[in-house]
Chains A and B, each alone.
Chain A
Amino acid sequence: MARFLIKRIFSAVLTLFAVSVLTFLMFFALPRDPVSGMCPKNCNPERLERVRQELGLRDPLVTQYAGYMKGIFTGRDLGSAQGGRCDAPCLGWSYVNNEAVLDTIARVLPVTLSIVIPAAILWLLLGVGLGMVSALRRGTWLDRAAIGFSLTGASLQLYFVGAVLLLVFVYNLRWLPVPSYTSIFDNPVKWASGLVLAWVALAFLFSAIYARLSRAQMLETLSEDFVRTARAKGLAKRTVYGRHALRAAITPVVTIAGLDVGAALGGTVITETTFGIQGLGRTAVEAVRAGDLPTIMATVLISAVFVVLANVLVDLLYAAIDPRVRLG
């Protein structure tokens, strides 16, 4: 177990390192000059050049990368133009937003978390529940309705569903305010009413996929010998289906869920754009458009951390759910 964990964490760190190097290289090739954007039109070439020197944009790539990584682990001095001393998890200074990238992230990360976590709970409960019920009631109208629901959801587009929801509930019926983010600690009701459409849209599309997957898995499990044996022994239906079969059927669902939630936490670009909420995803898109390298690095790294962490968690969960899996 310990050996597995160490191996897994080592490979995760290696992945993150590669992501950071690749992102650094890729965005350096971006055909945009961040400096000319931050300076008004009457800047003379000498001044632009001085700013570039100051930001370290003229240093060799390796030096710049090493400086960035050093900032994350020990903090570094960025110079007076960039807010001076930058402490330990230093993600740099955004020359576009004129603030420390860490502050930007601290502002937008709770937004994305507030969108994804409730939506994920909703879609997992709804999706797995629907899949189980339709597998157990196979062939009935309920099963057919569930299949129809999941096929429809899997074929719909988030921006389309979002647009329809906005049109109906915000503009026509006026039941909900225009989507926006309020901190849950300030006003929980406003927090929920501002984000509920995003939750519903995400949960609808994702639960469709999960309903399909868990129905197929459950059907396969129900046809296995151990389920018949358990039933033949006289165990109650509820025990057999709820404990034995569910546990066996849910393992692949856990894998997909881990990847999906991890990816979603890294920024729900389309959801945030559709509902006009400023989270991690939209921040990343804007940073790419503006050529804001420090913000891009931070957002890409954070979403990679989420995906990699989710992967490790899934492996650990596997061992907890499925006793046949021995980590070694």
Chain B
Amino acid sequence: MSMSPVEGVALAEVESGGDADAPKEEKGFVGRSPGQLAWLRLRGDRTAMVSGALLVFFVLVALSAPLIELLYGIGPSDQFQHKLDRFGMPLGYAGGVSGDHFFGLEPGLGRDIFIRLVYGLRTSLLIAFAAAVITAVLGIALGALAGYLGGWLDAVINWVTDLVLAMPFLIIALALTPTLTLRFYGERDAVSPAFGVGVLIAVFAIFGWTSTARLVRGQVIALREREFVEAAKASGAGLGHMLFRQLLPNIWAPILVSFSLAVPQFITSEAALSFIGVGLTEETPSFGRMIYQSLVYLQTDPAFVFFPGVAIFALVFAFNLFGDALRDALDPKSSR
């Protein structure tokens, strides 16, 4: 049995009998892993369950987008010019909301807003999850190495972190995207939508790892001097064993929380980049792009601004709520 601090805390909590949901067994208390305890706390939290269900719903919608398209009978690039008036504005109330078009039509091209939002959700979630996973891996690796080894490596990684933070993200991303695109495509070649998505993820990976690295570094430094680390060192554990078997299992909770809060941040960053016109190609539906295109119609067709705006708010809100609940569940000290 390892003398890890997290398990110590978990044991203390079981003994204090603070867990109301726990089925009473003959012996009086049951040994539970910190993960099980967190899961129990999470299940007892109504906010967590509601926001979690909402997230599952969003993910399911994104995954089954082609199926929804089949049922709905309209594709994301279908245009309904005949349902627009001669100024290109949708006929009918609230931007052309009807039984055929749940959220109305885009002015100008006359594409269906509902199905574009469904596909936009797919794009946003794909980019955000991929970016969050890559930045987490990078941040954990660099942060753990810097914190555990210290010395010049720590100094260098710290300095690079400062450097990345000093670069204005939006401006660099704005410049980097066309440069990268031109390295792979000619001046007039059609850029494939998948490539645009890949470039965005790469840009996020370059800029996003710093906060995880700082977090992990701080946690590792706090653990570095503990007895169990020293014991492992004394028994001749190698670097890999120290990092992956001794240190990381003890700090997965804050990493998980920062991961769950990073996903909505990437969703909003993707939208912000689309907003200043970087990244995705025109035919790729994305929340940010839709809002950007809609702002011109703020006065003439507010419904077009409303639907994408509310959609992205609901998605980010659910993620933030769930991330907060996760933090409360994982942190035994947390106070509510």
Binding site for B on A (CB under 8 A): 11, 14-16, 18-19, 22-23, 26-27, 29-31, 151-152, 154-157, 159-160, 163-164, 166-167, 171, 219-220, 223, 259, 263, 266-267, 269-270, 273-274, 281, 284-285, 288-289, 296, 299-300, 303-304, 307-308, 311
Contacting A19 at CB < 8 Å: which of B167, B170, B271? B167
Contacting B316 at CB < 8 Å: which of A22, A27, A155, A267? A155
Number of A-B pairs, beta carbon distance below 8 Å = 123
Closest-CB distance, A155 to chain B (whole angstroms): 4
User: Quick one: closest B residue to A19, CB to CB?
Assistant: B166
**0/1 interface trace, chain B 280-296, chain A, CB 8 Å (1 if under):** 00000000000110010
A155 pairs with B320, CB closer than 8 A? yes
Contacting A31 at CB < 8 Å: which of B178, B291, B321, B324? B178
**0/1 interface trace, chain B 147-168, chain A, CB 8 Å (1 if under):** 0000000000001001101111
The residues of A that contact B291 with a CB separation of less than 8 Å are: 157, 159-160, 163
Contacting A15 at CB < 8 Å: which of B162, B170, B264? B162
Contacting A259 at CB < 8 Å: which of B165, B268, B292, B324? B165
A219 pairs with B335, CB closer than 8 A? yes
A307 pairs with B165, CB closer than 8 A? yes
The residues of A that contact B167 with a CB separation of less than 8 Å are: 19, 22-23, 300, 304
Task: Give bound CA distance, A11 to B165, whole Å.
Answer: 14
Task: Give bound CA distance, A142 to B254, whole Å.
Answer: 29
Quick check: is B276 within 8 A (CB to CB) of the other chain?
Answer: yes
Closest-CB distance, A312 to chain B (whole angstroms): 11
- If the complex has contacts A151-B324, A223-B335, A300-B167, are A159 and B292 also in contact, measured as CB distance less than 8 A? yes
User: Quick one: closest A residue to B275, CB to CB?
Assistant: A159
B276 pairs with A270, CB closer than 8 A? yes
B166 pairs with A307, CB closer than 8 A? yes
The residues of B that contact A16 with a CB separation of less than 8 Å are: 166
Task: Give bound CA distance, A303 to B168, whole Å.
Answer: 7
A155 pairs with B264, CB closer than 8 A? yes
Quick check: is B232 within 8 A (CB to CB) of the other chain?
Answer: no
A285 pairs with B174, CB closer than 8 A? yes
Binding site for A on B (CB under 8 A): 159, 162-163, 165-168, 170-172, 174-176, 178-179, 182, 187, 264, 268, 271-272, 275-276, 291-292, 295, 298-299, 302, 305, 309, 312-313, 316-317, 319-321, 324, 335
10 contacts between A and B (CB under 8 A): A19-B166, A155-B264, A157-B291, A159-B292, A167-B298, A269-B170, A270-B272, A296-B171, A300-B167, A303-B171
B276 pairs with A304, CB closer than 8 A? no
User: Quick one: closest A residue to B314, CB to CB?
Assistant: A155
Given contacts A281-B170, A300-B172, 11 further A-B contacts (CB under 8 A): A14-B159, A22-B163, A30-B178, A151-B324, A157-B309, A157-B312, A159-B295, A266-B168, A270-B275, A300-B168, A311-B162
The residues of B that contact A285 with a CB separation of less than 8 Å are: 170-171, 174, 276
- If the complex has contacts A284-B168, A304-B166, are A155 and B317 also in contact, measured as CB distance less than 8 A? yes
Contacting B174 at CB < 8 Å: which of A263, A288, A307, A308? A288
Main secondary structure, interface of B, reads helix
The residues of B that contact A273 with a CB separation of less than 8 Å are: 275-276
User: Quick one: closest A residue to B162, CB to CB?
Assistant: A15
The residues of A that contact B162 with a CB separation of less than 8 Å are: 11, 15, 308, 311
The residues of A that contact B178 with a CB separation of less than 8 Å are: 30-31
Residue from B168, B268, B272, B313 having most chain A Cβ neighbours under 10 A: B168
Closest-CB distance, A259 to chain B (whole angstroms): 7
Task: Give bound CA distance, A19 to B276, whole Å.
Answer: 22
Closest-CB distance, B117 to chain A (whole angstroms): 14
A151 pairs with B182, CB closer than 8 A? no
The residues of A that contact B305 with a CB separation of less than 8 Å are: 160, 163, 167
- If the complex has contacts A14-B159, A155-B320, A285-B276, are A160 and B168 also in contact, measured as CB distance less than 8 A? no
The residues of B that contact A157 with a CB separation of less than 8 Å are: 268, 271-272, 291, 309, 312-313, 316
Task: Give bound CA distance, A184 to B276, whole Å.
Answer: 28
A27 pairs with B309, CB closer than 8 A? no
The residues of B that contact A11 with a CB separation of less than 8 Å are: 159, 162
